[in-house]
């Protein structure tokens, strides 16, 4: 998995494109066949994609609502539009903060799932070792 991550980062850096959080999470939590490593990771990716779509819809809305500046009119007098701009800006910032929070929660949930999986594996190994020890302590019949 780390090799895929570094290959991705190197390809993104050489192409000059910015690496997005969602794409980075997908790369680090998806198998090569496109399926998610855990069900939690799959749910998190879906939530992040929904937030991204919502954010993109908001950006398109901003583009439709905000007027293009008129070169001949250096000081537009419509203060209502500035209020709309401000509200849309705050909503976009709030959506971005929420997406960041979801990404952080997703990363924490993925770490917790991985730790739980490792703990379960260690518990199983310990049980197997205890059984082997108990069998070695029995006198031969």
pLDDT band at 65 (very low <50, low <70, confident <90, very high): low
Which one-letter DSSP state was computed for residue 69? P
Segment among 6-10, 42-46, 125-129 with least mean pLDDT: 6-10
CB 50 within 8 A of CB 42: no
- The neighbour count for residue 48, using CB atoms within 10 Å, is 20
**Residue ranges covered by each domain of the chain:** 2-67+78-131
DSSP annotation of 16 reads T
Q: How far apart are CA 99 and CA 9, in angstroms?
A: 21
DSSP string, 96-140: HHHHHHHHHHHHHHHHHHHHHHHHHHHHHHHHHHHHHHHHHHSPP
**58: confidence class by pLDDT, cuts 50, 70, 90:** confident
Which pTM was predicted? 0.40
For the record, the structure tokens of 40 come out as 């939690």
Helices (H) and strands (E) in the chain, counts: 4, 0
First to last CA, the chain: 50
């Amino acid at each position: 998995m780390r090799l895929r991550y570094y290959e991705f980062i190197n390809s993104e850096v050489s192409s000059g494109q910015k690496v997005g959080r969602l794409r980075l999470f997908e790369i680090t939590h998806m198998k090569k066949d496109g399926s998610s490593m855990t069900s939690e990771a799959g749910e998190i990716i879906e939530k992040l994609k929904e937030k991204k779509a919502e954010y993109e819809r908001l950006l398109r809305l901003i583009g439709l609502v905000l007027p293009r500046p008129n070169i001949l009119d250096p000081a537009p007098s419509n203060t209502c539009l500035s209020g709309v701009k401000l509200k849309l800006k705050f909503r976009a910032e709030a959506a971005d903060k929420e997406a960041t929070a979801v990404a952080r929660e997703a990363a924490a949930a993925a770490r917790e799932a991985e730790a739980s999986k490792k703990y379960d594996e260690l518990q199983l190994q310990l049980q197997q070792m205890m059984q082997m020890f108990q069998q070695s302590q029995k006198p031969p019949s």
